[in-house]
Structure 1
């Protein structure tokens, strides 16, 4: 099982590349222009409805520590809102979940407590011990009378046999495959390059999970076991997820239902049980920022990332599994470092995709020269996708900092505005730093010529990886 690449998928990868090159040009992700006085950011929403800008500002003030309550942080949050489309929603409890065991246990507990429905959207639903545990649980909840729906990606779950999903269907679980490889069901060949990389679980419209973790035994053990590169490609991945209780769960519900319908599923979207009356569960401000790669005109995840990088003033800490962004994004990181921002990037030292690893490393010399500090995780395969900016705004989701996530995949990030959650994510980042080695520019320049050749070759394909 691999999240992005494996030998078993080489034929598909190259077929996709050829088809895509023939059928489409290389699009460029773009942020929409922000015109002062004309660009209207989505309102901040509470259980009682949308807030006026004055009340929204007061609510943001309460979520920020006194040290973060300044003009620069306001500009950062406003820049994010101008690109996000989805409104920030108040009244949520957000739990930070580290690695597979903690995340999978929290999801199981929530599913076991469900009263009406369970919706699961995942890139990988593996035919292994964890996959069977979850399928058994979903079947049990369906037999208990709940509505249970599953969306899985055809490529992400390509090694999972059809019989695995048929067993769930026979038990009454509704299952849909996203972008089947069958040309009859996906007749437009370039659509095959659009994958559903999201990881969403919604329970009763009140609790939602998202992040980087798939349903797979890869996550059966914690990264604290430090498996190393020999066994770490297949187990104990380092990843991050969040559990959100409160009104923002309806944003994730809407995303699930839209994908469900596109995948051919039937559902009554007007059923109030899917969108229950909002009940505050905490104090966090959260938005679900999603990209739909079926629409090439929108690149919200890229736009929000770029906006917060460009408006950061103190600290920009990124953890990312597959880092191969375009030149505009790299230049924004360098510009932030040059204006005094503490820009740090944690990336893998080994991974499940050799091509993307080398494509990522092809960018390091430029970034190191520009003042970006880069750290490689040494002991576990890094799969997390997180960002924390100026101790005020945090992102946790499925989106990598590469062109596949920016342009080709359906992705989703949970974005939290507030100092409390940011400080928790910063603490995780600092813990992760203890398992890394920092790259030194002079030593990096001395790496073997064979590595430089691999990097140069892989960078030519980075748009499609």
Structure 2
């Protein structure tokens, strides 16, 4: 990557010299300015090609630069420079490893062959453990929270009962009725002496009022932004966002899932109406891993080194055949491997009977897309649940461009009509499931910091399956005939949006 960066700098200097020479010969400034951006777009195209990106991503950027040289240049400078990515996250990877080593004894698990598992489950568990660097717990309980009422009731209960410390991490926080209730409860606990750390995403919370933050800080809540972006300077940080939703109370209880903080997630938005989402409450030793993920993010955002006393549980010996396992795994651009994408891919290709997916944003990359088509062609029950109305129109139309081939292959696609469907989970064969913050899209796979709970033969998988089947009763099943008869305008929007899929 250093070589690529040097080439880019050389090309910039060469471009500037050419344009200055041209202008000095009495040609118009605007002509020289036009040449500057045209040649700049050309050098960016060369740099992108040298970076050996995925072909679809390379092609998407080249199309943008060809059609919109000026706009493409600006967008690339903000979000497209992958040669800086490794350097940007190298420090975080070192910090994460340091924290992991410091608490390794607390997270140590006795070695077990997991003899009761099938071979394909063992293979997936080995992959998940290697990519996620977190152990699986067979001594933890999980509870599915199926909407805002259940999630916020659980959240506020954990806050009310906390005695020592609270750790919260969210992508979006609204200063509305729900957000104010959270703020007031945190202020009350902080004044009671509870140690509170609150990490929020700087871009996701861009509209959050300064008074909300200042009130919490004044009360003693340690509230900090993740990856703050100082506009209008070009800054690639704007494209790498912390999409995680984590709560850890006293190191004993945890929450993870798709619900942010705000009235809309309680179903109070006039546009969205009922908000269908999924969260997970975790009790027991698996909370250690959720705590670890939070502390790694906190260390990167603040530089504060936190010690192992925040880990309450000791890892026990894996239990019997029917206890089930829970594993918390983080994925993000700081990881060498595309953690969530590879785990989703492994789940799909390991399926023997069924693959059920719920995702509000369905923009799979080529590998996931092919795996789903092959699974459907093989006779596996592939069901995909998506919203019937958009909250992000470009993503909405891009997702529909993938439906045709999936329907032809035999997959079933359902559009949720009761309200807005924001759940993010995958269930395979009713035996392995994943629920958390990761969508089935390229942004979650390649750009966002995500966290999911992976479940192995737990009772919560049955709960997720029942909720999924119930969701289908509030959904319209898409047919290939209906899809082929959609309006020409929609076809055009879908095709254009799909070109941008690798950038979404």
Which band: TM-score by shorter chain?
0.7 to 0.9
Distance 2:194 2:330 in 1: 27
Q: Map of 1:51-450 to 2, 5 A cutoff?
A: 51-54=110-113, 56-58=114-116, 60=117, 73=121, 77=125, 80-81=128-129, 83-182=131-230, 189-221=235-267, 231-233=270-272, 235-267=273-305, 269-272=306-309, 274-278=310-314, 283-295=323-335, 297-450=336-489
Distance 1:236 1:195 in 2: 26
- The alpha-carbon deviation at position 277 of structure 1 amounts to 3.3
CA contact (8 A) 1:238 1:380 kept: yes
Cα gap change, 1:441 to 1:190, in 2 (>3 Å): same
The unaligned stretches of length 5 or more in structure 2 are: 1-70, 86-103
Write out per-residue CA displacement over residues 388-411 of structure 1, whole angstroms, 9 at most, x where no aligned residue.
Answer: 111111111000011110011000
**Corresponding residue SS for 1:266:** coil
- The alpha-carbon deviation at position 115 of structure 1 amounts to 1.3
**Corresponding residue SS for 1:350:** coil
**Corresponding residue SS for 2:363:** coil
Point out which structure has higher relative CO (alpha carbons under 8 A, 6+ apart). 1
CA contact (8 A) 2:331 2:449 kept: yes
Distance 1:201 1:46 in 2: 23
Higher normalized helix content (fraction of residues)? 2
| TM-score normalised over the length of structure 2 | 0.76
The unaligned stretches of length 5 or more in structure 1 are: 1-12, 28-44, 61-69
| TM-score normalised over the length of structure 1 | 0.83
- The alpha-carbon deviation at position 57 of structure 1 amounts to 2.2
The alignment covers a number of residue pairs equal to 412
Write out per-residue CA displacement over residues 280-325 of structure 1, whole angstroms, 9 at most, x where no aligned residue.
Answer: 8x94411111113234x22111110000101111111110110101
**Corresponding residue SS for 2:172:** coil
4+ residue segments displaced more than 4 Å? 13-16, 45-49, 70-84
Distance 2:187 2:165 in 1: 12
Distance 1:250 1:72 in 2: 26
Cα gap change, 1:179 to 1:74, in 2 (>3 Å): closer
Distance 2:132 2:278 in 1: 22
CA contact (8 A) 2:77 2:234 kept: no
CA contact (8 A) 2:284 2:313 kept: no
